[in-house]
Amino acid sequence: MKSNQFILILALAVGTISCLDLNIGNRMPYCFYLDLAAKETVNIQYEVTGYKAQEFRMTVYDASKLNEQPIHTTEKEKSTTYSLWSQEPKEYKVCFQSLDSSGKILQFEFIRGEKQDESFVNDKTLEKTFDILQDAQYQLNVIYSNLRHQLMKTDMQAQILESTENKVKWCSVIKMVLMISITTIQIVFLTGLFKDSSPFGI
């Protein structure tokens, strides 16, 4: 059954396809269906040559929806590149259309990319990494503060220990000097008593 739109179905192999040339005109849309896997990207590139090449439109549809509302439209551009990324396995329809009756030559290609790696750096990953680094910095600051406090405490304890040792040493020296002095005085006193022949002698 004929329709008011000319639908061209192209089976695309996985990977990069060769650039295709297509003569378009009479305002007829030429549509291609693309099956994308989950987290897969297809780069759509085209270039239009001919009379009024800018009178051209590219439209991308979600083929799984019946309302035929485009998810992307490029209009009045002779050449462009559009990256189509799919969150889940889905079929898309890409349509090229001349906006006037003049003939044009369309060169286009669909370049399939690799599936997006979940470990690839994105905004969420960077934000998570930034939070981890902030937490690590906070933990390092806490460790540094505790270490500094411990070093100050150790230094203070060393000073107190040294001061106590000096006090004990000088106290011992003073006690020894006093004991020697007292012993010397007693010896001298007793010696004097024995040598003294006065009535107060023994």
CA distances (Å), 162 to each of 114, 166, 167, 168, 174, in order? 71, 6, 9, 10, 18
Exposure of 139 by Cβ count < 10 A (0-12 exposed, 13-18 middle, 19+ buried)? exposed
Give how many domains the chain has, as a whole number.
2
Beta bridge pairs of residue 61: 70, 93
**Is 106 found in the same domain as 24?**
yes
Of 89, 112, 135, the domain-final residue? 112
**Is 150 found in the same domain as 71?**
no
Per-residue pLDDT of the chain (202 residues; tens, 9 = 90+): 434 444 444 433 333 444 677 788 778 888 889 898 888 888 999 999 888 888 899 999 998 887 778 989 999 888 889 999 888 898 999 999 989 888 888 888 888 875 555 545 567 778 888 889 988 998 998 898 888 888 888 888 888 888 888 888 898 889 999 999 899 888 888 887 777 655 544 4
In a domain, 156, yes or no: yes
**Is 75 found in the same domain as 129?**
no
User: What is the extent of the structural domain holding 73?
Assistant: 20-112
Query: How, if at all, do strands 40-50 and 56-62 pair?
Result: unpaired
CATH number, domain containing residue 54: 2.60.120.380
**Amino acid making up residue 197:** S
Q: Give the span between the Cα atoms of 80 and 50, in whole angstroms.
A: 16
pLDDT at position 93 is: 92
